[in-house]
Structure 1
Amino acid sequence: MKRILVTGVSGVGKSTVVARLAELGHHAVDLDSPEWSEWVDSADGSGPTPSQSGKDWQWREDRVRKLLADDSDGVLFVSGCAANMGIFRDRFTGVVLLSIPAELMAERLTHRTTNAYGKDPAELARSLDFKDSVEPLLRATADLELDGTEPLAQLVSRIERFAADL
């Protein structure tokens, strides 16, 4: 099975892309949900949100490991970004990074309706800091970077082609 990770910092469109892939009939999972991720004690005592002081958002390793162990035919698309995602890098056939300008990211986080993360000014500031500090790390391990401002249909099509070409 091909496993494609769609990643990026908060507000770039990961969840929207993977939801659309699922709507199109693909096996697609958003790992940035409580079913697949959880708040754990942060190694440095800080976290991405004031609502979870001293905590960090991490993938539930046992569940993600089981999900990625599927060796059937086809393609699995997953989206997410977490502090411990690097331990799974070798399980992905390809990694797609979505990136958008900071101003648009701030607008999306402030006005999003799918979850409350990023609406708090401290969360927004931390997310914008992650754009500068975490996004370059994601870029260094990505196989493809896409402009998250592209229309959704175009992004999804490009990700489908990327997976097909692997």
Structure 2
Amino acid sequence: MKRILLTGMSGTGKSTLIRALAARGYKAVDADCDELSQWIEVKDPMGAEVTPVDGNRDWVWREERMHHLLSTEDAEVLFVSGCAENMPQFFPRFDLIVLLSAPASIIVERLRSRTTNQYGKQPGEVARVLRLVESVEPRLRRAADYEIDTSLPLEQVMAALLRLL
């Protein structure tokens, strides 16, 4: 089974793309859910390179559940979308890592207008996302095998992704 990680900052279209893949019949899993992710207390948020999402709490992948998901052999291709602080430990388990990116103005508009997720509605959350674009996205870019600009229409983004298969 080929395992593909779709990652990127909030507002880059990870959830939209993973839903479109599932609608086409692919095994496509959004890791940003209670089943695969959880809130944890951050011991030293002021010393952390990346600030927690919510006060002293951060949203991370449930390691045992992600290991189980990535060990399951029930499809030709598995697409997983998400971005979490503990995600890099799973990078070796993926055959491809695809960074989804978009200009800051598009990210801000998507955060403002999305209805499926409340994160990004508050000014502090938008500011945090934009800081992460500057600090975390370059590290994701270095880890990624490919980058897709999601400011393109969804069908073009999907076509670019499926060409990688």
State the match for 1:79 in structure 2.
81
State the match for 1:23 in structure 2.
23
Residue 5 of structure 1 and its aligned partner are, at CA, apart by 0.3
Query: C-alpha distance in 1, partners of 2:43/2:153?
Result: 38
Query: C-alpha distance in 2, partners of 1:83/1:60?
Result: 11
Identical residues among aligned pairs (%): 50
Contact 2:27 2:75 in 1 (8 A): no
Match of 2:104 among 102, 110, 130: 102
How many residues end up aligned between the 2 structures?
A: 161
- 1:149 lines up with 2:151 in the alignment: yes
Residue 4 of structure 1 and its aligned partner are, at CA, apart by 0.2
Q: Structure 2: which amino acid aligns with 1:39?
A: W
State the match for 1:35 in structure 2.
35
TM-score by length of 2: 0.93
- Deviation per CA, 1:114-161, whole angstroms, max 9, x where unpaired? 110000111111011000001001000000001111111111122112
Q: Any gaps of 5 or more consecutive residues in structure 2?
A: none
Q: Structure 2: which amino acid aligns with 1:145?
A: E
Deviates more, 1:55-64 or 1:71-80: 71-80
Contact 2:5 2:97 in 1 (8 A): yes
State the match for 1:114 in structure 2.
116
Residue 43 of structure 1 and its aligned partner are, at CA, apart by 4.6
Q: Structure 1: which amino acid aligns with 2:158?
A: V
Q: Structure 1: which amino acid aligns with 2:79?
A: F
Q: Any gaps of 5 or more consecutive residues in structure 1?
A: none
Query: C-alpha distance in 2, partners of 1:68/1:12?
Result: 23
Task: Please report the RMSD computed on the Cα atoms of aligned residues, expressed in angstroms.
Answer: 1.3
Residue 48 of structure 1 and its aligned partner are, at CA, apart by 4.0
Query: C-alpha distance in 2, partners of 1:9/1:44?
Result: 23
- Deviation per CA, 1:13-32, whole angstroms, max 9, x where unpaired? 00000100000000000001
